[in-house]
Amino acid sequence: MREIINYFIRNSKWLLFVFYITLSCLMLFQSNPYQHHLYMTSASAVASTVYSLSSNITSYFNLRENNEDLNRRNADLQAEVLAMREQLEKYQDSEQELSPIIPDSLRHYRFIVARVINNSVIRPHNYVTINRGSNSGIRPEMGVIDQNGVVGVVNVVGPNSARIISLLNPNFRLSCKIKNNETFGSLVWDGKDPKYAVLEELPRHTVYKKGDTIVTSGYSAVFPPGIPVGLVESDNSSHNENFFSLKIKLLSDFSTLNNVQVVINNYADEIKSVEESTAKEENENKPTSSNQ
Amino acid sequence: MTKTILNFILLAITLVLAQAVVFNHLILFNCAIALVFIYIIIILPLEASTNMLLTIGFLIGLIIDIFSDTAGLNSLSCTILSFLRNPIYHLYSPRDEEISGQRPSIKTMGNTSFMKYALTMSLIYCSIVFTIESVSLFNTVRLLTRIGGSTLFTFIMIYAFDSLSLSRREKKL
């Protein structure tokens, strides 16, 4: 017995080394980012406090660029509103009746404004931390956009902070389509340049031009359809395969992210419950159909 | 003794915060990043046991992981680095010159030896971190530029820190 204890004491540094290595590897190889524990991420209380303190100072640094982006976006939206108002008046003239105005509570999407307090672009798996959490109604798997386009999807939520899987993270795939074209593929980051991503799984017959806008498809409940994501930069692969991919220049500048909006889909729960009940029914039906 | 420990804890907190708030966002040429917190492992006292080294290394790595959302990556690398600390130190510094309470620095090791020691530690750490990090997205050229650039940047920062503490101590005397 004594010899065993002595053996352990003599080799304690090796045992401790192996213990720490195992512990780190367990954390490292938990590849699904949705399983990360809140305390082990930048959305934890201490880390998010430190980051919001430092961002109180650094958030002023990119104000000029942000303001320019906002002004540009504002002008675009203004033009869109005017065009839509014109169209609405035209329809009202032809139908001679007011279309009922949708009350706020029934609107499909709401937006919560949040400030980015931590952000990375150089790592192979990038995350963004924001200063809003469950107290503001944010929950996992909500979409996040900024004034230029898509930023990412919420994954770990603390009371007053949340961690977002950035678009610059290979774990995140976004369903997108080419505007005015309706062919859709999935956008994923290839880990090389934070300014570019790859739109994959496009059918071979897709028609595109350089400079075409890529927007969200709206096939998931996370993002509304038509949110801009990027511009087509160039063709990326040989045409031998059935599917091909495009190099996309991202519209959001991830190195100067400052203010973002979290998309709240009022129907998300409903869509999810319908999907789940359908899946359940299918599962229940399976054994009976096999019995018949 | 208590004063030394307190000083050390203060330095560790400062360096970890500096890493999280400043150096993680300071990227040169889209490849080089300074991992300044390994300065804590570099200057741990020589009389500290390997168990102590391992524990401090692991904890520092864990805190950095929490701040930069790299679950397990830095704690793994820091554990390996603190395990290799003493062998690397003895590679450049003769064993018989040890005095109690001594810690590796320019003053105790001499300029050239400390430069070699710090450069080796930076190179080992950057190699481990970036190799593990790029397993999923492997690209040899990018990996090598990241290791090279970050090693140099880290080494320069560590050398600067140590020179600063050296000049401050000389003023006191």
pLDDT at A97: 57
Expressed as residue numbers, the domain containing A211 is 174-251
Size of interface A-B (CB pairs under 8 A): 103
**Nearest by CB: B134 against A42, A124, A193:** A124
Delimit the domains of chain B by residue range. Answer: 2-172
Across the interface, do A24 and B20 touch by the CB < 8 Å criterion? Answer: no
pLDDT at A214: 85
A chain contacts of residue B133, beta-carbon cutoff 8 Å: 123-124
Residue A260 lies in a domain: no
* Contact with chain A for residue B21, Cβ under 8 A: yes
Task: Report the gap between the CA of B159 and the closest CA in chain A (Å).
Answer: 24
d(CA B152, CA B145): 11
pLDDT at A292: 39
Per-residue b or e along B124-156, where b marks 16 or more CB atoms closer than 10 Å to that residue's CB: bbbbbbbebbbeeeeeeebbebbbbbbbbbbbe
Task: Report the gap between the CA of B13 and the closest CA in chain A (Å).
Answer: 12
Across the interface, do B66 and A28 touch by the CB < 8 Å criterion? Answer: no
> pLDDT digits over B106-161, tens only?
777 777 888 888 888 889 998 888 888 877 666 778 788 888 888 888 888 888 88
Mean predicted confidence (pLDDT) in A66-91? 81
Task: Report the gap between the CA of A152 and the closest CA in chain B (Å).
Answer: 15
- Which range scores top for mean pLDDT: A93-97, A99-103, A174-178? A174-178
Residue A218 lies in a domain: yes
d(CA B89, CA B43): 10
Nearest to A232 by CA among A254, A255, A215, A217: A215
Residue A272 lies in a domain: no
Residue A186 lies in a domain: yes
**Nearest by CB: B51 against A13, A26, A50:** A13
* Contact with chain A for residue B142, Cβ under 8 A: yes
Of B62 and B25, the one with more pLDDT: B62
**ipTM, 2 dp:** 0.73
> pLDDT digits over A246-270, tens only?
888 888 888 888 888 888 877 777 7
Mean predicted confidence (pLDDT) in A126-147? 85
Interface test with A, best of B23, B26, B67, B69 (most A CBs within 10 A): B69
- List residues of A whose CB lies inside 8 A of any B CB: 12-13, 16-17, 20-21, 23-30, 36, 39-42, 44, 46-47, 50-51, 54, 118-125, 127, 129, 163, 170, 190-193
Q: How many domains does chain A have?
A: 2
Across the interface, do B68 and A192 touch by the CB < 8 Å criterion? Answer: no
DSSP B101: T
3-state SS, B50-96, equals: HHHHHHHHHHHHHHHHHHHCCCCHHHHHHHHHHHHHHHHHHHHCCHH
User: Is the separation of the CB atoms in B117 and B162 below 8 Å?
Assistant: no
| Residues 89 through 128 of chain B touching chain A, CB cutoff 8 Å | none
User: Is the separation of the CB atoms in B128 and B74 below 8 Å?
Assistant: no
pLDDT at A236: 66
pLDDT at A237: 61
A14, closest residue in chain B (CA to CA): B51
B chain contacts of residue A20, beta-carbon cutoff 8 Å: 54-55, 57-58, 75, 79
| Residues 26 through 65 of chain B touching chain A, CB cutoff 8 Å | 27, 30-31, 33, 49-51, 54-55, 57-58, 61, 65
Residue A185 lies in a domain: yes
Those residues with Cβ within 8 angstroms of residue A191's Cβ, 6 or more apart along the chain or in another chain: A124, A170, B136, B137, B139
Across the interface, do B139 and A192 touch by the CB < 8 Å criterion? Answer: yes
Those residues with Cβ within 8 angstroms of residue A218's Cβ, 6 or more apart along the chain or in another chain: A224, A225, A226
Residue A80 lies in a domain: no
Instruction: State the pLDDT confidence band at A215, using cuts at 50, 70 and 90.
Output: confident
**Nearest by CB: A170 against B70, B73, B137:** B137
Task: Report the gap between the CA of B72 and the closest CA in chain A (Å).
Answer: 4
Mean predicted confidence (pLDDT) in B67-72? 82
Helix (H, G, I), strand (E, B) or coil at B139: coil
B23, closest residue in chain A (CA to CA): A120
Helix (H, G, I), strand (E, B) or coil at B30: coil
pLDDT at A291: 43
* Contact with chain A for residue B16, Cβ under 8 A: no
Residue A243 lies in a domain: yes
> pLDDT digits over A83-96, tens only?
888 888 777 777 65
CATH of the domain at A241: 2.40.10.350
A51, closest residue in chain B (CA to CA): B21
User: Is the separation of the CB atoms in A217 and A190 below 8 Å?
Assistant: no
Those residues with Cβ within 8 angstroms of residue A8's Cβ, 6 or more apart along the chain or in another chain: A15
Q: How many helices (H) and strands (E) does chain B have?
A: 7, 2
**Nearest by CB: A16 against B51, B71, B133:** B51
